Structure 1
Amino acid sequence: MNEVRISTPEGAEATISLFGAHLMSWKTADGKERLFLSQRSALDGSAAVRGGVPVIFPQFATRGDGPRHGFARTATWRLVEQANDWAELALAQSDLQRNHFQSWPRAFELRLRFELKADALAVRYTVRNTGQQDFSWAGALHTYFAVAEFDQAKVDGMPFKGALDDIRPATPQLRLDTGAGTLQLEQQGFSEWVVWNPGAQGATATADMDDSDHRRFVCIEPARVDKQVLQAGAEWTGLHTISLIP
């Protein structure tokens, strides 16, 4: 996979694959990896990556007639601009033909901008309707957070138990105790938080996970689960910021 790397003078690092505009790794200045990535995940562009931060567009899960979670996570994006500590990637309707996908019949452009600080990461997700017709879309940043032990991790002080597939109304922020530090999760523009973990049975049934992988992560993602209309010529922006709390 072609990758983009950004870093800060304090030692924070992030790696973004052009395949899916997928954030593969994020290390804070203390050198700790904050994201989970399955060792069984295909990393050759043949399938969506299991872990990191998959980008969901234009449908959530199977809530539409397209591929599960849409095509953005399995398309090759373009690097638009990059500096030491930030990078911006783009995907447009014209790129789908280059990716040998069946063209989505709406003119659009997606932008993902990753900005890195010593102990924080911000992801700006922009959807533009560049055509003459309104279209409906859904999306999310499906973030796999690494945890020391799933059943000991907590969100806003509440521990996790068993398989999870919760959709919660969006709040401005959440706190995640990973067992290796506390992260503050903030969102703007999204309408839900989705909290997900397959549990032991789900991990065993998933080909690109080890049987014990469910113990090593929890997904907490800012999302727009149900499709909403974006008018012709309009733009939507969502922001996801993750900060390490001292």
Structure 2
Amino acid sequence: MSTPERRPVEVVKAINGLEKVVLREIHGSSVEVYLYGAHVTSWKNEHGEELLFVSSKAIFNPPKPIRGGIPICFPQFSNLGPLELHGFARNRLWTFDDDPPPLPPDITNKVFIDLILRPTKEDLKLWPHSFEYRLRITLGPGSDLMLTSRIRNTCPEGKPFTFTFAYHTYFSVSDISEVRVEGLETLDYLDNCQKMARFTEQGDSLTFESEVDRIYLSTPTKIAVMDHEKKRTFLIRKDGLPDAVVWNPWDKKAKAMVDFGDDEYKRMVCVEAAAVEKPITLKPGEEWRGRQQLSAVNKLLDA
């Protein structure tokens, strides 16, 4: 009896009837993306190990955003503006892009999808700016996962607009007490646990003993997240995204969230490529591009 063919890109019905796209790379790695929010909810390496954290209590029911994976924060990060928390891109239904950007020459052995978001009439009442947001999600050899965002101002009246942005990536870790983040040493950060006061990172690396909610400023293009128990390093490479957000809610905040397990803070850390401190302004016709590439290596590396 023959086994069913495993297609590199497949659209399936998932939780609560929401549509999900499954990408499979020839060496066995995979990515799952919900059209709701263009939300990556799974990233597995060639051994089938899950690399992202999604809460067991995540609510896959619009308009509630999905807790975990890689939510997209646009056009507002956090509550730093007039919109709902983290903006509206993460709880809108995206569609397939029928006019995607041209393929790069090194597309061999990569599988990808192109999604697009345009504002609805309701969105324009909340945020009166016309835009096109094109997102390419690419899974490459070695399980590398790349998200490339292109946001264009399509307003015909000649009005610029300004936004902030983050790829709100939840990494799956063995134990938060065994995790350290490298690449942020000596940098300034805004501490959301202390009313956005500005501090300078003093440690050789960032470790976790309590709630952390920080926006690191003018960060390098490469940041490493090391999980000592699993002997695994996540590498974040970013372009067009000068800041980096680091978040773990710890025990009290975890218990206060209905879509997050009481002890799940121990098994996740968010390290996010972002543009927060200096909002991005686009004039009509201008386009911004921001890219995040994630790699996972089963050994401990430095940034």
TM-score by length of 2: 0.76
Asked if 1:168 is matched to 2:192, the reply is no
Matches within 5 A, 1:1-246: 1-80=18-97, 85-93=111-119, 96-97=120-121, 101=123, 103=125, 104-117=127-140, 118-131=142-155, 132-156=158-182, 157-169=205-217, 170-178=219-227, 179-180=229-230, 181-226=232-277, 227-246=279-298
Which structure 2 segments of 5+ residues have no match? 1-17, 101-108, 183-204, 299-303
Q: Is the partner of 1:151 in helix, strand or coil?
A: helix
Deviation of 1:87 (Å): 0.7
User: Are the aligned partners of 2:176 and 2:268 in contact in 1 as well (CA < 8 Å)?
Assistant: yes
More strand by share: 1
Q: Following the alignment from structure 1 to structure 2, what is the Cα–Cα distance between the partners of residues 229 and 101?
A: 19
1:167 and 1:84, CA in 2 relative to 1: closer, same or farther beyond 3 A?
closer
Letter in 1 for 2:283: Q
| Conserved? CA contact 1:42–1:48, under 8 Å | yes
Structure 1 Cα separation of the partners of residues 115 and 78 of structure 2 = 23
- Greater CA radius of gyration, 1 or 2? 2
The answer on whether the counterparts of 2:110 and 2:139 sit within 8 Å (CA) in structure 1 is no
| C-alpha displacement of 1:133 | 1.3
Unaligned 5+ runs, structure 1: none
SS of aligned partner of 1:241: strand
Q: How many residues align?
A: 242
Deviations 1:157-190 (A, max 9, x none): 5422211011112211111113431111111101
Moved >4 Å (runs of 4+) = 81-84
Q: Distance in 2 between matches of 1:107 and 1:120?
A: 32
- CA RMSD of the aligned region, Å? 1.7
Could you tell me how far apart the structure 1 residues matched to 2:23 and 2:56 are?
23
User: Kindly, what percent of the aligned residue pairs are identical?
Assistant: 32
TM-score where L is the length of structure 1: 0.93
